[in-house]
């Protein structure tokens, strides 16, 4: 059993969304509470739809990796064993 005393509808929704569905269907539930529950469920649905639409439309974020992923050729970099004519 979830304790609901002193909690907001949002807090109750996070813990027991089924309870709010049940509560909204009861004849004795205050109409203001029913309207609040209805509005919250509508907002949750709308937010879920916006997230799924946004994921479909938004390209993945850029990475910090260089665009050219080819490794540099080893001969391009001098090593400690290379002979330099100016030594």
Kindly state whether residue 62 falls inside one of the protein's structural domains: no
Kindly state whether residue 44 falls inside one of the protein's structural domains: yes
CB-count burial class (<10 Å; 0-12, 13-18, 19+) for 41: middle
What gap in Å lies between CA 77 and CA 60, rounded to an integer?
34
Query: What pLDDT, on a 0 to 100 scale, did the predictor assign at position 58?
Result: 66
Closest CA to 2 of 52, 12, 10, 66: 12
Kindly state whether residue 35 falls inside one of the protein's structural domains: yes
Kindly state whether residue 20 falls inside one of the protein's structural domains: no
What range does the domain containing 41 cover?
Answer: 31-55
pTM above the 0.75 mark? no
Kindly state whether residue 3 falls inside one of the protein's structural domains: no
Q: Domain total for the chain? A: 1
Q: Is the pLDDT of residue 62 over 80?
A: no
Query: What pLDDT, on a 0 to 100 scale, did the predictor assign at position 30?
Result: 94
Q: Is the pLDDT of residue 87 over 50?
A: no
Question: Is the CB of residue 37 less than 8 Å from the CB of residue 23?
Answer: yes
């Amino acid at each position: 059993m979830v304790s609901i005393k002193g909690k907001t509808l949002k807090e109750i929704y996070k813990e027991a969304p089924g309870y709010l569905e049940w509560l909204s269907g009861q004849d004795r539930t205050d109409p203001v509470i029913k309207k609040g529950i209805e509005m919250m469920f509508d907002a949750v649905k709308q937010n879920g739809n916006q997230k799924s639409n946004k994921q479909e439309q938004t390209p993945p974020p850029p990475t910090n990796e260089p665009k050219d992923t080819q490794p540099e050729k080893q001969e391009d970099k001098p090593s400690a064993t290379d002979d330099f004519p100016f030594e």
